[in-house]
Structure 1
Amino acid sequence: MPLLSIITVTYNAERFLERTIQSLLANQPGDEVEYLIIDGNSKDRTLDIVRNYETHVSHWISEPDRGLYDAMNKGQQLATGDFVWFLNAGDEMHDASTLFNLLNQLRNNPADVYYSDALFVDDTGKPLGLRSKITPHTLPHNLNWRDMAMGMKVCHQAFIARRTLSPPFLVDNLSADVDWEIRCLKTASKIVWLDFVLCKYLVGGLSVQQHRKSLTDRFKVLADHFGTATAVWNHVKIVARAVRFRFFG
């Protein structure tokens, strides 16, 4: 069995998929790593790109789905590695040493969850800055699930979980990744902060494209885990924090 399953979800991703695959190949994955591509029946050249790199893909499927999180559930179900890591089309490993450093941690510092910072990039690949520096989301080095009371503390692409404790995603909730991280953290016995950056995260995803629904869905997730009254109060604090960060940094 592989140690790590890397899962890429795609849909009409011809502009960005090759960027993700090339970052994997630059890290020279060996037998300890499997790579899965879960496609939602793309109509552009996405599948041509998959076929061009097919020898480097452990398994891929292309079929209609119910959206991003349905596809991510399919990826988890197909994965056989001890750990799962989601790098979707356009996301990349941070540099050519990332996988080497990560596998060393998985082998020698056993835990249930590993996390780090993420470098935000635009659609041209231009770096925009570390998430912990250019957003109000500071990154604690001793993370627990209660740190998520005000939302996504760790970028999903910088969060790796043991597959056996990784729950299914909520299919119809745009903040399903927040819920997934909280549930992983709740069941984890050991959580490890990595002192290197795991990924480059392509900004402008689904939650940005459907911002209002994403905020409503986030409230539902936080109310479910922390209670409605706490979620209401924390959303007041979230707004105040965002205003303070925007004007005072």
Structure 2
Amino acid sequence: MTADSSMTMKQEGGTRLQGVNKKSEPGKPLVTVITVVFNGVATLGNTIRCVTGQTYDNVEYIIIDGASTDGTLDIIKRHEHAIDYWLSEPDCGIYDAFNKAISRACGEYYLVVGCDDELFEDAIKQVVDTRLRQADVDFVVASMWLGDRLRKGMRPSMGWLGAHAMVNGHSVGMLIRTKVHDQLGLYSTRYALCADGLFIKKLFSSGLRGVESDVVMGRFATGGASNSSLARGLCEGFLIQLETEKHKLLQVLIFIVRLIKNFFRL
């Protein structure tokens, strides 16, 4: 591939490039919503409508597309007037795309919303009103629907079972102060499916202040990459546990139990 042809694969747009720049105001923090997508034509339009229909009036929306080939880019361009910044180019996976978005985010906090997730229209406003306006908070773990189960609460002591046992969900369920990445670094690209789990474990062990919220923010889609590649997800989760937990033998035993439990799904 020539340099000229690789340059033509990058496209970007959004209201920011037209001179519209948002920022936090006293008592009204700017919240950046991040959606990363690759070939999400079937669901992205609904996600965009969920985000742009938020009742909170200080939201920035960033979409990072991995050079989709199915019409996803047409949907993004159709809604460009409501998207602050979008970028479409080849990437090195989900977490590379997250890192691109974070490096471009202007919000004091950010929220990840997958291209097939649902965000309820009052979600951001309720969390800001109840948790962010008056308190110095580094992250919020909110409530969310996971399939047909309503998940609530924050469980810091459950890290021995993995990040999924500590929070209700990374996508839809967490607002994170953007500057925490200055201390913790960006998402690791060593793990293609579970790097958010590694980041969450680092976040909980960092001493940064997190609070939980009973606000039900939305619904997490259960058909994402980590669910469709179960074997790899289990292996990555195991490696992250070995990296972050002291009792290695316990983690080996837990991994074996999970392999047995999911044997017919692998």
Whether these two folds match at TM > 0.5 is yes
Determine if contact 2:36/2:63 at 8 Å carries over to the other structure.
yes
Question: Any idea what SS the aligned residue of 2:205 has?
Answer: helix
Determine if contact 1:150/1:235 at 8 Å carries over to the other structure.
no
Q: Residue type matched to 1:129 in 2?
A: R
User: How far 1:109 moved relative to its partner?
Assistant: 2.8
Distance 1:34 1:225 in 2: 33
Q: Does 1:26 align with 2:53?
A: yes
**Pairing partner for 1:165 from 172, 175, 180:** 180
User: How far 1:236 moved relative to its partner?
Assistant: 5.3
**Pairing partner for 1:87 from 88, 106, 113:** 113
User: How far 1:220 moved relative to its partner?
Assistant: 0.6
Q: Does 1:102 align with 2:116?
A: no
Distance 2:217 2:198 in 1: 21
Q: Does 1:129 align with 2:149?
A: yes
2:98 corresponding residue in structure 1: 72
Unaligned residue ranges in structure 2 (runs of 5+) = 1-22, 25-29
- Report runs of 4+ in structure 1 exceeding 4 Å deviation: 236-240
Determine if contact 1:112/1:188 at 8 Å carries over to the other structure.
no
1:16 corresponding residue in structure 2: 43
Distance 2:139 2:118 in 1: 20
Residues 29 and 58 (structure 1 numbering): CA distance in 2 closer, same or farther, change over 3 Å? farther
Distance 2:205 2:128 in 1: 24
User: How many percent of aligned residue pairs carry the same amino acid?
Assistant: 25
Q: Show the 5 A alignment for 1:1-249.
A: 1-2=23-24, 3-30=30-57, 32-93=58-119, 95-104=120-129, 105-121=131-147, 128-130=148-150, 132=151, 139-141=152-154, 143-144=155-156, 146-151=157-162, 152-153=164-165, 154=167, 155-157=169-171, 158-166=173-181, 167-173=185-191, 174-227=193-246, 228-235=248-255
Question: Any idea what SS the aligned residue of 2:35 has?
Answer: strand
Determine if contact 2:31/2:60 at 8 Å carries over to the other structure.
yes
Q: Residue type matched to 2:128 in 1?
A: L
User: How far 1:140 moved relative to its partner?
Assistant: 4.1
Distance 2:56 2:99 in 1: 23
Q: Residue type matched to 1:55 in 2?
A: H
Question: Any idea what SS the aligned residue of 1:44 has?
Answer: coil
Determine if contact 1:113/1:162 at 8 Å carries over to the other structure.
yes
Residues 202 and 83 (structure 1 numbering): CA distance in 2 closer, same or farther, change over 3 Å? same
Distance 1:186 1:82 in 2: 21
Distance 1:115 1:51 in 2: 32
Equivalent pairs counted in the alignment come to: 225
Question: Any idea what SS the aligned residue of 2:32 has?
Answer: strand
Determine if contact 2:39/2:70 at 8 Å carries over to the other structure.
yes
Give the greater-gyration-radius structure (CA): 2
TM-score norm. by structure 1 comes to 0.83
Residues 230 and 77 (structure 1 numbering): CA distance in 2 closer, same or farther, change over 3 Å? farther
Determine if contact 1:9/1:89 at 8 Å carries over to the other structure.
yes
User: How far 1:235 moved relative to its partner?
Assistant: 3.3
User: How far 1:188 moved relative to its partner?
Assistant: 4.2
Q: Residue type matched to 1:231 in 2?
A: Q
Question: Any idea what SS the aligned residue of 1:213 has?
Answer: helix
Distance 2:113 2:257 in 1: 30
Distance 2:97 2:127 in 1: 25
TM-score norm. by structure 2 comes to 0.78
Unaligned residue ranges in structure 1 (runs of 5+) = 122-127, 133-138, 244-249
Question: Any idea what SS the aligned residue of 2:220 has?
Answer: strand
